[in-house]
Copies of this chain bind each other. A is one copy, B any other.
Amino acid sequence: MPRAKAAREGDGNRVPEPEGTAAERVPTLKDLARQLGIHPSTVSRVLHSDPESARGAASDATARRIRELAAELGYSPDPQASGLRTRRTRLLGVVVPRLSDLVLAVMYEGVEAEAATIGYSSFVTNSRDDVDEQRRKVELMLARRVDGLIIGDRHLDVDVVLTDLRRRAVPFVLMNRRHPEIPSATCDDTRGGELVAEHLWDKGHRDVCVIAGEPYATTGVDRTAGFVQRWRELGGEIGDGDIVLSRFDTQGGREAAEKILVSGRRPSALFAVNDFAAIGAMGALRSHGLTVGRDCAVVGFNDTSLAAELPIPLSSVRSPMFEIGQAAVRLLRAVMRGEPAESARLTPTLQVRESSI
């Protein structure tokens, strides 16, 4: 009698319960089956209930009994066990530079929400925009056997990790930053830059500087390129000296603006490729006795929730961050299924506020 055997076995080969706590074990498929006097496989098929395998698995009456008992006992399948058997974890890994960057945090919220709707869980890790850390974190996620990866910190010119993922046939997509040959969900950053160029030109600005972000991120690069190209099309002049690289945070924006102002240059407008950098730039302008909006226009990017509420409300290009996260999941799903995956470039819109009127 295998059952008796198992019962006796219990004393020996068993992981000890945490003492004190009265076991309160979650019910398993076998428990359900035993209580109903039917075979676990039948229970499994019924609870799966994708018409394919559920068809003919059990009578309607039995199926109902199974479902009722499952609900009553609060049965939930053990993902470890089913994953072991099916070779799927229903886990998505997400790598971002830092979650404390609001932009990425919101995208991740989109990822989490969309993943939940298709029965996936996601987990996220910070790479601090460091390539070695990125590699380490990706390995950790693969060790967790994620079904797919969303890479939010692609570095221009350093594609070892991506190459490696392809070689290993791991399904993955990019988010926020793009790559010409890999499916990605991004904002149409080029278009966003163009919008700013058109806006500032219309307002009569002719002397502008760009706070361009990190050189390894396509976000900043594309936004800058879109701006510059459109600016020149409109007849504007802008040289390499008018473009200053910067970190993406407030301090980075302040430093970049400082660099411009210290040199004695007084542009009539600044385009910062990120709201936080724009806020830092506003600080630098104020330190130099300039009033934002009057002495110098400032436009940011992403239209984070702060922009509209700042003391001097900040004009910004609204990028659909949450939707980008959702799009990344949908894209990844297509990749995981082996379907063709067309990169999503979501459309930005300009929000004009007091900082650039």
Please report A residues at the B interface, Cβ cutoff 8 Å.
2-3, 5-7, 9-11, 13-24, 76, 78-81, 83-84, 86-87, 89, 98-100, 102, 105-106, 108-109, 112, 116, 121-126, 140, 142-145, 156-157, 159, 162-163, 166-169, 179-182, 215-216, 218, 221, 225, 240, 243, 245, 249-251, 253-254, 276, 279-280, 282-283, 285-286, 292, 305-306, 308-313, 338
Contacts and interface: CB of A to CB of B under 8 A. Distances in A.
Given A126-B112, A156-B5, A83 B86 contact: no
A79 B143 contact: yes
Q: Is the interface of A mostly helix, strand, loop or mixed?
A: mixed
Task: Report the 9 A-B pairs with minimum CB-CB distance, sorted nearest first.
Answer: A2-B215, A123-B123, A250-B309, A21-B169, A286-B311, A6-B221, A80-B84, A80-B83, A100-B105
A306 B279 contact: yes
B99 A89 contact: no
A251 B80 contact: no
Contacts of A306: 250, 276, 279
A143 B313 CA distance: 44
A83 B19 CA distance: 20
A168 B21 CA distance: 8
- Count copies of this chain in the complex: 2
8 contacts: A15-B87, A15-B159, A76-B142, A84-B84, A99-B99, A100-B305, A112-B126, A279-B306
A338 to B, nearest CB: 6
A79 to B, nearest CB: 6
A83 B143 CA distance: 13
B338 A312 contact: no
Contacts of A243: 3
A17 B166 contact: yes
B250 A305 contact: yes
Contact of A121 (B108, B140, B163, B250): B140
Contact of A10 (B106, B180, B250): B180
Contacts of A308: 251
A312 B162 CA distance: 43
Given A121-B140, A168-B24, A79 B16 contact: no
Contact of A282 (B11, B122, B169, B311): B311
Given A123-B123, A221-B6, A243-B3, A13 B159 contact: yes
